C-alpha cells in the first residue's frame, strides 16, 4: 500500500517533469506548420516556412561556419586527447597534468571567453574562424581528456601487457589493441564535442568577432528582431538533426557510458 | 638510440594537448589578471552597493536554479533508475535531447508559451479564470523558469548515473529492518548518492552563475547579473579592464561559494 502510493507519486511527478520539458517544444514545432505568423491562432497547414528557410543565404552561411568550426575543433581536440592518453599509457606521469583539464569544470565558460578575448586582444590576433576553433578546442579538450582517460583506466591492462610481452612495439600495441578497445568511447566523445561546439553560444558570442556568425548567433539575431515562423522551421530541423545525433550517442552509450 | 626515441616520442605526442590547455585556458586567465591590474580601485566605492548587489543576485539566481532543479531532478532520476523498466532508454533519450539542442531554441519555445497571446494566457482566458492577459515575460519568474528548464538535464544525468549503479537490495533491506520510507531516503539513499548530487551541483551552479543570455532574453533589461555586467564591460570599447577586474572578483566569490556548497554536502554525507 505504502509502496504503491510512493510508486504512483513518483510516476506522476516524473510525468509532470516531462510535460514541463516537452510542452514548449511541441508548441514550437506545431507553429512551424501554421500558415500565419505567431500571435494569430492556428489557421492551416503549410510547408512555406521550410521553403523560405531553404532559400535563406545568411542561414546557410552561418550553418557552414558552425559546421566548419565544430568539425575542426572536434578533430583537433580528439587527436590531442588520444595522444595525451597514449602518453599516459607509455608510463607518463599524467595524474598531476590531468588536474589541469578539470579546471574547465570550475571556471565558468564566460570567464574563459573573457580570458580568451583579452588574450587575443593583447596578442592582437584578429577574431575569426581561427579564434573560434581555438576556443572550442579548449572546450572539447575539457570533455575528451577526462573521458578517455577514465575509460582507459577501466581497460583490462593484461591485454596491453600481453601484447607487449608477445613482442609488439608500444606503437603497434597502441594502434592494434588499445585504440580498438577505446573506439566506442572515442566515437562517443567525438560526437559529444561536435554537438557541444555546434550548440555553443557563450564562447562564440565573445570570440567570433563582428564578421563571423555561427548558427546560434544567427538564431539570436533573428530572435531579437521578432520571431518569424522561419525560426520555428529552423528549430524543428535542428531538433530532428540533434535527435538523430543523440540516438547514435545513446546507442554508443551502452558500451561507452559517457553519461 | 631507438630506446631514446621510444621514451621521448610519447611525451612529444602528449605535449600538444597540455600545451593547448595551458596556452589557451590558463594563460588567458593570467591575461585577465594583467588586464585588470590597477583597476580594482574603481570597485572599492561600489563594493558595498551596486556591484555587490549584482554578485549577490547572481548567487541567489544560481542557488535557486540549483535548488529547484535538484528537487525536480531527484525523483525523476529515481524513477528512471528503478521504475522505468522498458521505457528507460526512451525516457533517457528525452532527457538528453534538450541537453544537446541549442538553448536559444528553448528560449524561443518558451516565448510561445508565456507571451501575451501565448499558450498559458490563451488557455486561462478561454477558461475565464483571468480577464486580461498576464505579464509573464520580462520578470524574475521567467528568468528562473528558463534557467530551471535549461539546466534540468544537467542535474538529472549525474544523479541518474549514480542511482543506476545503486543496489536496490539495500533499500529493501532498510525497509525490511523497519525503517520508514522517509528514514530510508534520508539515511540510506540520499547520503549514498551525494557524489551524483555534487556533480550535478557543479554542472548547474557554475554556469548558472555566469549566465548572461537567458537573463537578457527572458528578463528584459530590468535586472543585471554577473554575466550581463561582464559582457557589457568586456565588449564595450574602453571598459575592458573594468570587465576583467569584475570577472576576477566574481570568480573569487564563485569559488568560495562552491567550496561552501561542497562542504555542506560533505557534512550531510558524513552525518549519515
What ipTM, to 2 d.p.?
0.85
Picking from A86, A101, A137, the nearest residue to B13 by CB comes out as A86
pLDDT tens digits for B246-256?
A: 888 888 889 89
pLDDT tens digits for A179-228?
A: 888 888 888 889 889 988 998 888 888 888 777 888 888 888 887 777 77
3-state SS of A74-124 is HHHHHHHHHHHHHHHHCCCCCHHHHHHHHHHHHCCHHHHHHHHHHHHHHCC
| Secondary structure class of A34 (helix, strand, coil) | strand
B27 touches chain A (CB under 8 A): yes
Buried b (16+ CB within 10 A) or exposed e, B133-157: eeebbbbbebbbbbbbbbbbbbbbb
Q: Binning pLDDT at 50, 70 and 90, where does residue A250 land?
A: confident
| Nearest-angstrom CA–CA distance, B232 and B210 | 13
Higher local confidence (pLDDT), B51 or A144: A144
Residue ranges of chain B with per-residue pLDDT less than 70: 1-7, 38-48, 237, 271-272
Residue A51 has pLDDT above 70, yes or no: yes
B232 touches chain A (CB under 8 A): no
Picking from A114, A195, A259, the nearest residue to B234 by CB comes out as A114
Residue A164 has pLDDT above 50, yes or no: yes
Q: Which whole number is the average pLDDT over A172-184? A: 85
DSSP designation for A176: I
Residue with cell 539542442: B101
Contact (CB<8Å) B243/A114: yes
Q: Binning pLDDT at 50, 70 and 90, where does residue A256 land?
A: low
Which of A26, A119, A197 to substitute to test the interface with B, most B CBs within 10 Å? A119
- Per-residue pLDDT at B4: 62
Contact (CB<8Å) A246/B112: no
What predicted TM-score, i.e. pTM, was given to this entire model?
0.87
User: What is the CB-side half-sphere exposure of residue A183 using CA atoms within 13 A?
Assistant: 6
Contact A141/A80 with Cβ under 8 angstroms? yes
Chain B residues with CB-CB distance to A214 below 8 A: none
- Per-residue pLDDT at A153: 81
- Residues across chain A: 259
- Per-residue pLDDT at B29: 87
CA angle A43, B218, A137 (to 5 degrees): 105
Q: Binning pLDDT at 50, 70 and 90, where does residue A91 land?
A: low
B126 touches chain A (CB under 8 A): no
- Per-residue pLDDT at B2: 60
How many angstroms separate the CA of residue A86 from the nearest CA in chain B? 7
Contact (CB<8Å) B96/A259: yes
Angle between helices B194-210 and B140-164 (to 10 degrees): 150
How many angstroms separate the CA of residue B270 from the nearest CA in chain A? 24
Q: Binning pLDDT at 50, 70 and 90, where does residue A257 land?
A: low
| Nearest-angstrom CA–CA distance, A221 and A110 | 19
B146 is written with which cell numbers?
528558463
Contact (CB<8Å) B96/A119: no
Higher local confidence (pLDDT), B35 or A243: A243
Q: Binning pLDDT at 50, 70 and 90, where does residue A1 land?
A: very low
Residue B92 — φ and ψ, nearest 5°? -65, -40
Beta bridge partners of A34: A45
- Per-residue pLDDT at B54: 87
Chain A residues with CB-CB distance to B147 below 8 A: none
pLDDT > 70: percent of chain A:
93
Contact (CB<8Å) A83/B17: yes
| Secondary structure class of A32 (helix, strand, coil) | coil
- Per-residue pLDDT at A126: 87
Q: Which residues does B117 contact at the CB level (< 8 Å), separation at least 6? A: A38, A39, B133
- Per-residue pLDDT at A163: 87
Q: Binning pLDDT at 50, 70 and 90, where does residue A70 land?
A: very high
- Per-residue pLDDT at B239: 76
How many angstroms separate the CA of residue B19 from the nearest CA in chain A? 10
What's CA B136's distance to the chain center, in Å?
23
| Nearest-angstrom CA–CA distance, A241 and B267 | 44
Amino acid at each position: 500500500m505504502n509502496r504503491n502510493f510512493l510508486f504512483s507519486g513518483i510516476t506522476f511527478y516524473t510525468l509532470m517533469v516531462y510535460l514541463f520539458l516537452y510542452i514548449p517544444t511541441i508548441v514550437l514545432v506545431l507553429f512551424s506548420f501554421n500558415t500565419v505568423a505567431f500571435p494569430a491562432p492556428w489557421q492551416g497547414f503549410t510547408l512555406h516556412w521550410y521553403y523560405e528557410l531553404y532559400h535563406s543565404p545568411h542561414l546557410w552561411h552561418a550553418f557552414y561556419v558552425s559546421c566548419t568550426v565544430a568539425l575542426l575543433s572536434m578533430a583537433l581536440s580528439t587527436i590531442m586527447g588520444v595522444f595525451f592518453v597514449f602518453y599516459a599509457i607509455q608510463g607518463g606521469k599524467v595524474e598531476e597534468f590531468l588536474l589541469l583539464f578539470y579546471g574547465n569544470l570550475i571556471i565558468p565558460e564566460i570567464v574563459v571567453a573573457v580570458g580568451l578575448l583579452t588574450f587575443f586582444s593583447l596578442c592582437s590576433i584578429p577574431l575569426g574562424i581561427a579564434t573560434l576553433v581555438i576556443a572550442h578546442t579548449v572546450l572539447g579538450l575539457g570533455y575528451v581528456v577526462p573521458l578517455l582517460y577514465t575509460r582507459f583506466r577501466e581497460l583490462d591492462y593484461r591485454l596491453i601487457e600481453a601484447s607487449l610481452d608477445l613482442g609488439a612495439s608500444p606503437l603497434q600495441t597502441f594502434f592494434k589493441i588499445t585504440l580498438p578497445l577505446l573506439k566506442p568511447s572515442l566515437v562517443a566523445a567525438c560526437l559529444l564535442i561536435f554537438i557541444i561546439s555546434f550548440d555553443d553560444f557563450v564562447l562564440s558570442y565573445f570570440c567570433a568577432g563582428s564578421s563571423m556568425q555561427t548558427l546560434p548567433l544567427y538564431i539570436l539575431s533573428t530572435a531579437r528582431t521578432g520571431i518569424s515562423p522561419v525560426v520555428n522551421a529552423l528549430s524543428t530541423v535542428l531538433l530532428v538533426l540533434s535527435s538523430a545525433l543523440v540516438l547514435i550517442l545513446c546507442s554508443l552509450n551502452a558500451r561507452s557510458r559517457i553519461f | 638510440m631507438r630506446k631514446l626515441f621510444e621514451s621521448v616520442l610519447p611525451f612529444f605526442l602528449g605535449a600538444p594537448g597540455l600545451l593547448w590547455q595551458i596556452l589557451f585556458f590558463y594563460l588567458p586567465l593570467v591575461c585577465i589578471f594583467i588586464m585588470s591590474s590597477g583597476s580594482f580601485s574603481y570597485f572599492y566605492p561600489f563594493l558595498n552597493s551596486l556591484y555587490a548587489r549584482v554578485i549577490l543576485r547572481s548567487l541567489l539566481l544560481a542557488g535557486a536554479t540549483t535548488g529547484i532543479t535538484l528537487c525536480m531532478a531527484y525523483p525523476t532520476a529515481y524513477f528512471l533508475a528503478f521504475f522505468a523498466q522498458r521505457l528507460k532508454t526512451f525516457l533517457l533519450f528525452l532527457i538528453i535531447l534538450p541537453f544537446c539542442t541549442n538553448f536559444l531554441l528553448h528560449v524561443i519555445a518558451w516565448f510561445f508559451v508565456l507571451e501575451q497571446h501565448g499558450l498559458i494566457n490563451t488557455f486561462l482566458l478561454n477558461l475565464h479564470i483571468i480577464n486580461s492577459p498576464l505579464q509573464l515575460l520580462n520578470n524574475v519568474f521567467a528568468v528562473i523558469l528558463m534557467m530551471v528548464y535549461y539546466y534540468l538535464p544537467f542535474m538529472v544525468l549525474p544523479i541518474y548515473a549514480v542511482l543506476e549503479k545503486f543496489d536496490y537490495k539495500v533499500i529493501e533491506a532498510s525497509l525490511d529492518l523497519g525503517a520508514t520510507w522517509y528514514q530510508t531516503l534520508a539515511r540510506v539513499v540520499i547520503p549514498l548518492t551525494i557524489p551524483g548530487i555534487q556533480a550535478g551541483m557543479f554542472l548547474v551552479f557554475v554556469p548558472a552563475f555566469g549566465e548572461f543570455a537567458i537573463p537578457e532574453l527572458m528578463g528584459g533589461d530590468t535586472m543585471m547579473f554577473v554575466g550581463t555586467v561582464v559582457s557589457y564591460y568586456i565588449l564595450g570599447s574602453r571598459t575592458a579592464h573594468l570587465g576583467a577586474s569584475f570577472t576576477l572578483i566574481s570568480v573569487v566569490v564563485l569559488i568560495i561559494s562552491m567550496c561552501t556548497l561542497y562542504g555542506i554536502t560533505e557534512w550531510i554525507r558524513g552525518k549519515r
